[in-house]
């Protein structure tokens, strides 16, 4: 995927037409939300264009400070449907954050997020502000991100901190940003420097030059181009050296960071899902148990040793006759007794285990179980009180159903992605040889 940043005035007619067309495909057609996309705000924005095989497949825009919010605003974030399982949405958002932090380093970054994407933007550090509001008849919420040292100008090195300390984050972002490196022919890239086979693209270099030029009233000075290139080479050298030293293989913190970022980028694609009410109703119909409150029981359990079957049967007869006190006298004293109150089934399971809990749930209120043999002892169960809640109405748990639906789709995406990786890479188990 090739990424370009352009001001409005630098956009060609074809580029402007393509980005408006893609925005309409996603926001108007796919999301079934008719609104005026050409809102006369594009003139005050920088535009990110992401291409794959010369086709526009991703886009977002960054409004200048003072237009809607005090700082820059990220908006119109989208990816074409065919690449939404490749982590592109997260890559574009991270690119926008770095662009804002570099070009407008002293400002808070803002965005008006669709409320369903709250978790996606929180994964980058954005914080919700105020109440949910309707924008184009869709729930939105304002979110802000205060750039930290990790988001400051790419070239602002901090004295006293060894550069290797930042390798974990840099390596993880680099890996995500260059998914399936095998498909890239480095020799064909338009580059300004190479470290072994790792290239620094000319476009990235020019973006940083432009950001420095715009951040200074006087623009670039003669030494800037060479100094900036040297700093970029330094960082690539540190990354490469970190890899050579086995930091990815041996540093658990870096490995954990990479894994979490990869999983996050994969499941974040659920934020681009088009979810209809019918999808949710079908999901609810199949998974009603997920949304039905757990049964509650006030349960009596009497236990007997393996040689006390006679006493156990006598106690059962007494329970059937209603003589609870006499039945308890025949039983063993419990080390941990069930509380004499209504408890959710999951809580009862903690006291008596899954097998006895399952039997207790199958009994009617007041019914005495047969003598149950388990782990060398015998047990009697009596549900003194039993409350089974019916499934709630769909509308009453709509938000829960939507969240669970998205979570399940995220698990499916992750499973599919991992299966693709197993087909992509050669996986050999020693025991299979």
Q: What is the mean pLDDT of residues 397-415?
A: 90
Summary mean pLDDT of the chain: 84
With beta carbons less than 8 A apart as the criterion, state whether 65 and 108 touch: no
Which residues on neighbouring strands pair with residue 224, listed in sequence order?
none
Q: What is the mean pLDDT of residues 53-80?
A: 93
Distance CA 349, CA 368 (A): 19
Q: 219 falls in which pLDDT band (50, 70, 90)? A: confident
| Chain segment 69-124, per-residue pLDDT in tens | 999 999 999 999 888 877 888 999 999 999 998 888 889 999 999 998 999 999 99
> Which among 298, 388, 385, 294 has a CA at the least distance from the CA of 343?
298
Taking 50 as the threshold, does the pLDDT of residue 157 lie above it?
no
Lowest-confidence pick of 22-26, 372-376, 422-426: 422-426
Lowest-confidence pick of 71-80, 149-158, 238-247, 303-312: 149-158
In sequence order, what DSSP letters do the residues of 111-138 get, joined into one string? EEEEGGGHHHHHTTT-EEEEEEEEETTE
Q: What is the mean pLDDT of residues 381-396?
A: 91
In sequence order, what DSSP letters do the residues of 210-228 get, joined into one string? HHHHHHSTT---TTHHHHH
Q: What local confidence, expressed as pLDDT, does residue 127 receive? A: 94
Higher pLDDT, 17 or 35: 17
Q: Which residues contact 101 (CB under 8 A, 6 or more apart)?
A: 109, 147, 151, 152, 153
Distance CA 209, CA 200 (A): 13
Q: What is the mean pLDDT of residues 236-263?
A: 86
With beta carbons less than 8 A apart as the criterion, state whether 391 and 288 touch: yes
> Which among 118, 121, 91 has a CA at the least distance from the CA of 109?
121
pTM: 0.42
Taking 60 as the threshold, does the pLDDT of residue 186 lie above it?
no
Higher pLDDT, 323 or 191: 323
297 class by beta-carbon count within 10 Å (0-12 exposed, 13-18 middle, 19+ buried) = buried
With beta carbons less than 8 A apart as the criterion, state whether 114 and 35 touch: no
| Chain segment 289-308, per-residue pLDDT in tens | 888 888 999 999 999 998 99
Where helices occur in 322-344 by DSSP H, the ranges are 324-330
> Which among 226, 57, 276, 241 has a CA at the least distance from the CA of 166?
241
């Amino acid at each position: 995927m090739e990424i370009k940043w352009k001001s409005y005035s630098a956009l060609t007619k074809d580029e402007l037409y393509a980005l408006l067309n893609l925005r309409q495909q996603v926001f108007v057609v796919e999301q079934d939300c008719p609104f005026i996309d050409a809102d006369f705000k594009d003139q005050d924005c920088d535009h990110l264009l992401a291409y794959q095989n010369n086709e526009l497949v991703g886009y977002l825009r960054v409004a200048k400070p003072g237009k809607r919010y005090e700082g820059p605003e990220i908006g119109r974030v989208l990816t074409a449907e065919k690449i939404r399982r490749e982590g592109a949405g997260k890559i574009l958002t991270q690119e926008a954050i770095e662009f804002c932090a570099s070009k407008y380093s002293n400002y808070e970054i803002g965005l008006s997020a669709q409320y369903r994407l709250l978790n996606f933007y929180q994964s980058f550090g954005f914080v919700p502000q105020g109440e949910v509001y309707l924008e184009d008849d869709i729930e939105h919420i304002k979110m802000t991100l205060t750039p930290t040292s990790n988001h400051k100008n790419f070239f602002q090195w901090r004295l006293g901190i060894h550069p290797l300390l930042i390798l974990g984050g840099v390596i993880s972002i680099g890996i995500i940003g260059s998914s399936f490196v095998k498909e890239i022919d480095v020799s064909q890239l338009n580059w300004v420097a190479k470290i072994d086979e790792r290239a620094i693209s000319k476009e990235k270099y020019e973006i940083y030059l432009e950001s420095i030029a715009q951040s200074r009233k006087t623009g670039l000075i003669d030494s800037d181009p060479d100094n900036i290139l040297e700093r970029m080479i330094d960082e690539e050298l540190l990354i490469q050296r970190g890899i050579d030293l086995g930091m990815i293989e041996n540093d658990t913190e870096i490995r954990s960071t990479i894994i979490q970022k990869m999983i996050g980028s994969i499941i974040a694609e659920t934020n681009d899902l088009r979810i209809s009410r019918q999808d949710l109703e079908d999901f609810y119909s199949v998974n009603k148990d997920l949304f039905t409150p757990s049964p509650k029981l006030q349960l009596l359990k009497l236990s007997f040793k393996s040689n006390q079957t006679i006493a156990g049967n006598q106690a059962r007869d007494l329970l059937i006759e209603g003589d609870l006190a006499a039945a308890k006298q025949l039983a063993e004293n419990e080390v941990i007794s069930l509380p004499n109150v209504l408890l959710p089934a999951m809580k009862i399971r903690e006291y008596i285990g899954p097998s006895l809990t399952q039997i207790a749930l199958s009994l009617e209120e007041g019914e005495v179980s047969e003598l149950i043999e388990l782990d060398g002892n015998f047990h009697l169960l009596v549900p003194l009180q039993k409350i089974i809640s019916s499934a709630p109405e769909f509308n009453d748990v709509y938000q829960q159903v939507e969240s669970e639906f998205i979570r399940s789709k995220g698990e499916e995406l992750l499973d599919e992605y991992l299966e693709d990786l197993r087909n992509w890479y050669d996986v050999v188990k020693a025991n299979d040889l």
